[in-house]
Amino acid sequence: MSAAATPSVKASPLPAATLARFAKEVAKYPADQKQSAVMACLAIVQQEEGFVSRAAEDVIAAHLGMPAIAVYEVTTFYNMYNQRKLGQFKLNVCTNLPCQLRDGQTALEHLCHKLGVEEGGTTADGLFTVQKSECLGACADSPVMLVNDRQMLSFMSPERLDELVDVLRANAAKA
């Protein structure tokens, strides 16, 4: 094998400890199905770096023996993977049709207005990123949102959104 054909894993921009974590995930699958570890590897990168860079996708692709574009497709399909550095609090508001019919867009616009950002933007203090999201599976509870990919919140009226921002700000100040 020529030097040019050496797998890019050798020149990895990711730490060895991260690659070791990849290996543990890959070991959970049959050798011919290691691509099944792609979501776990993306989650590891996001946990460690805060987002998934194209360079990290390339490393994952090399590890799993899959095209980089296939990794990119996974990263961009799921809202939980960040493709850039976001604020401390990632606020995803569902704007799919059922939520649109019950103030989902109003909730998104209220948050953007309150925080002084465009949709997808991050506040200057780095605390909040406001984004729209696809269906969160709780359409009857609209407006629905997800905080940091973990905490689902329902019936988010303007008043509840204001309260949420205040609570998160207070928590950040205490930390």
Please report, in angstroms and rounded to a whole number, the separation of the first and last CA atoms in the chain.
52
Determine the size of the site formed for ligand FES (CB under 6 A).
12
Q: How far is the CB of 1 from ligand FES (least distance, A)?
A: 50
Tell me phi and psi for residue 113, to 5 degrees: -65, -45
Nearer to ligand FES, 78 or 84 (CB): 78
Contact 45, 23 (CB under 8 A): no
Nearer to ligand FES, 60 or 143 (CB): 143
């009226």: which residue's tokens? Answer: 157
Among 62, 138, 147, 152, binds ligand FES (CB under 6 A): 138
State which of positions 1-20 bind ligand FES (CB under 6 A).
none
Among 115, 142, 145, 153, binds ligand FES (CB under 6 A): 142
State which of positions 72-111 bind ligand FES (CB under 6 A).
94, 96, 98-99, 104
Among 111, 144, 146, 156, binds ligand FES (CB under 6 A): 144
Q: How far is the CB of 140 from ligand FES (least distance, A)?
A: 8
Say if strands 145-147 and 128-133 run parallel, antiparallel, or are unpaired: unpaired
Q: How far is the CB of 135 from ligand FES (least distance, A)?
A: 3
Nearest to 43 by CA among 58, 29, 27, 25: 25
Looking at 3-11, 47-55, 115-123, 134-142, which segment touches ligand FES (CB under 6 A)? 134-142
Strand boundaries in the chain, DSSP class E: 89-94, 128-133, 145-147, 151-153
Per-residue burial over 26-56, b = 16 or more CB atoms within 10 Å of its CB, e = otherwise? beeeeeeebbebbebbbbbbbeebeebbeeb
Nearer to ligand FES, 49 or 141 (CB): 141
Q: Please calculate the CA angle 140-143-145 and round it to the nearest 5 degrees.
A: 105
Binding residues (CB under 6 A) for ligand FES: these are 94, 96, 98-99, 104, 135-139, 142, 144
